[in-house]
Amino acid sequence: MSAITPDPAHALTPSGNLARRLRVSLAIQGLAVSAAALAAAILFILVGFTVVKGIGALSWSFLTGNLPAATGQAGGIGPALVGTAELALMAGIISVILGVLTALFLTEFASPRVASPVRLMLDLLAGLPTILAGVFIYGLVVSRFGQSGIAAAIALAMVMTPLVARATLESLQRVPETWRDAASALGVSHWRTVLTVVLPGAASGITTAAILAVARGAGETAPLLFTSSLYGNGVQLNPMHALPNIPLEIYTLIETGYPQSVSMAWGAAFLLMATILLVNIGARILLRRGERKRGL
C-alpha cells in the first residue's frame, strides 16, 4: 500500500496505481468503441457493396421482364417481385391476425400464470431456425398437396407471427392502465373496451409491428425452399401454385455462375435490401409519430 493520507504537496496528477488503472480503463473503452464501429461498418459495407454491384442491373426491362427462360439467359425479375409481394401480403394477413390476437390474449385476458409460459413459447418460436418452418409445412401441406403460394405463406407466417405478437404485446402494454380503468368504470364490457380504446391506443405500434414483420418475411428464404421453389418463368398469381419470389430467384441466379445471371442476382438483392431498409425506417418514423400524437 502506498501512503494512506494524500500528501497535500503532491501535484494533482495521478498517483499510486491510478495511472495504470486509467490506462486499463482507456483500453477497455477503446475496445467497446471499435466493436460498435465495426458493427456499424458491417452494415455500411454490406449496403455499399450491394448498391455498387446491384444498381447497374436496374432497368425497366429488368424490373418488368419475365424470369430467364433457361439457365444463363437474359431476363427480368418481374414475376418474382409480384410473387414476393403476394406471399408477403398473404403471410402478413395470417400473422397479423394470429399475432395480434395472441398479444391481446396475453395482455387483456390471460391470468399471469398462463401468460408467462405462453410468452416464453413465443420467444422460443421466434428463435427457431426458419428452415424448420419450411420443413414443417413441407410435411404438413406440401407432401400432400404439392407446392403452393398458400403453403409458403403459412410457413412465412410461422416465422412472422411471433414477431408481430411480441411487438404488439409491447405496444399494448404501453396503453395506460388509466384508460382501461376509465372504460371499465363506465360499465362497458371488456371486449368493447379492447376494441374501441385499447386497440386504437396501440394502433401505431401494431401497424409498425405488421410492417416490420412483412419486411422480415419478404426476405425470408428458408421457409420457401420446399414450399414455393418450383415455379415457371412468367407471372403467377394463383396462390394454389408455387409463386416465383425474390429470395429464391437470387439463390437460383447466383447458383448458375453465369456473369449475366450473377449481376441480375445483385440487382435483385439490391432491390430487396433497399425496399426492406426503407420500409423499416418508415415504420419506425410512423411509430414515433403515432405515439407522440397519443401523448405516450
String of contacts with another protein for each residue 119-158, x by CB under 8 A: ----------------------------------------
DSSP, res 12 = S
Whole-angstrom distance, CA of residue 173 vs CA of residue 282: 23
Shortest Å, Cβ 56 to another protein: 49
DSSP, res 13 = S
Whole-angstrom distance, CA of residue 138 vs CA of residue 161: 18
Pairs from 73-79 (Cβ < 8 Å, separation ≥ 24): 73/260, 74/260, 75/233, 75/264, 77/246, 77/249, 77/264, 77/267, 77/268, 77/271, 78/235, 79/231, 79/232, 79/233, 79/234, 79/235, 79/236, 79/244
DSSP, res 196 = I
Shortest Å, Cβ 198 to another protein: 10
Is the CB of 181 or the CB of 255 nearer to another protein? 181
Shortest Å, Cβ 184 to another protein: 6
Among 40, 196, 230, 277, the residue binding another protein under the rule CB under 8 A is: 196
Are 151 and 137 in contact by the 8 Å Cβ rule? The answer is yes
Residue whose entry in the numeric block shows the C-alpha cell 403452393: 148
Is the CB of 21 or the CB of 288 nearer to another protein? 288
For residue 101 the three cell numbers come to: 390476437
**Which range in 57-65, 98-106, 184-192, 259-267 contacts another protein by CB under 8 A?**
184-192
Whole-angstrom distance, CA of residue 18 vs CA of residue 292: 47
Among 197, 273, 274, 279, the residue binding another protein under the rule CB under 8 A is: 197
Shortest Å, Cβ 197 to another protein: 6
Answer yes or no whether residue 189 interacts with another protein by CB under 8 A.
yes
Among 181, 277, 282, 289, the residue binding another protein under the rule CB under 8 A is: 181
How buried is 84 (Cβ within 10 angstroms: 0-12 exposed, 13-18 middle, 19+ buried)?
buried
Residues 6+ apart with CB under 8 A from 32: none
Is the CB of 107 or the CB of 229 nearer to another protein? 107
* Region 44-73 residues binding another protein, contact defined as CB under 8 A: none
Is the CB of 201 or the CB of 223 nearer to another protein? 201
Answer yes or no whether residue 259 interacts with another protein by CB under 8 A.
no
| Residues touching another protein, count (CB under 8 A) | 23
Shortest Å, Cβ 175 to another protein: 10
**Which range in 18-26, 74-82, 121-129, 179-187 contacts another protein by CB under 8 A?**
179-187
Question: Which stretches of the chain bind another protein, using CB under 8 A?
Answer: 112, 176, 178-179, 181-190, 192-193, 196-197, 200-201, 293-295
